[in-house]
Amino acid sequence: MHIYSHPLCQQHLVPDGHPEHPKRLEAVLNHLRECGIAQDSPIREASFAGQEDIARAHSLTHIKFVQSILPSTDTPVPIDPDTWASAQSFAAASHAAGAVLDGVTDLLAGTTQRVFCAVRPPGHHAEQKSAMGFCLFNSIAIGALNALANPQIHKVAIVDFDVHHGNGTVDIFKDNPDVLVCSTFQHPHYPNRMFDVQRNNIINTPLNEGDGSTEFRRQIEADWLPALEQHKPDVIFVSAGFDAHRDDPLAQINLLAADYDWVTRLIVDCAIQFSQGRVLSTLEGGYNLEALCESVEAHLGALR
């Protein structure tokens, strides 16, 4: 397994009290070292995604907007009430996307079958023309589209178990039948958009507040497995948000680390069946540091 990150991902600054703060990533990276995962899979420094790569998923207007809003100091400025930018935010988001691109390169070269990108800011709320929900660029979408640009890749799947719906990923791929998007999420809940898109390649699986492990697992088996079997992706991408954990402050689905182990094993089994074992996962949400670290460890234990 290859793990990617970059120091600048911790230089994307937000106001005091904001849940998506740099210590999230610091805690994850420290935990990977402490639990031994980083010894087995040393953390690699991610590349910088260029404009051409980002523009596969986002309009040039949006890319230039993110560049233009950057302050000259480390004091963050708001894009919307949830989403902020500081002096290094464009670089951080570009390295977050670059980590996914590096992972795609590794998977297609056959140097590994599994990749995890320990990066921030997250990406799955970023739509083609807008930043929102803590997200500036949709890293997983950028990676998926760059994979599809390779002649050996014909179809991909993106599975998203963050507690918040991946509206940005749906926005970017709703009219692209080569990309299957499967998303579980608490509903009604933020962002309350794109959850009702009806396309053959969009599998929206809303969960009720308090549903917990049993319903999460039942719905994934009922919705994701038939869709993945029909689509037969060449690569499976994962938007790995861990904010459905019962200790997370932003939602109420009440999962445990064991559920992330379970869903990751299901994804890996599908990848072995359809995708030559190729799975690329990138960090999205998760805002209780202890629960986040425990869940990431469970995810990577199953991913390996």
Segments making up each domain of the chain, as ranges: 2-303
Mean pLDDT of all residues belonging to the chain: 97
Q: What is the pLDDT of residues 27-66, one digit of tens each?
A: 999 999 999 999 999 999 999 999 999 999 999 999 999 9
> 2-303: which CATH architecture?
3-Layer(aba) Sandwich (3.40)
Is 125 among the catalytic positions? yes
Q: Rounded to the nearest 5°, which phi and psi values hold at 93?
A: -65, -35
Task: Choose the catalytic residue: 2, 125, 231, 299.
Answer: 125
Per DSSP, 148 falls in state H
Measure the CA–CA gap between 262 and 264, rounded to whole angstroms.
5
Output the pTM of the full model.
0.98
Measure the CA–CA gap between 186 and 163, rounded to whole angstroms.
6
- CA dihedral sign of residues 147, 94, 11, 131: negative
Q: What is the pLDDT of residues 138-169, one digit of tens each?
A: 999 999 999 999 999 999 999 999 999 999 99
Q: What is the pLDDT of residues 222-236, one digit of tens each?
A: 999 999 999 999 999
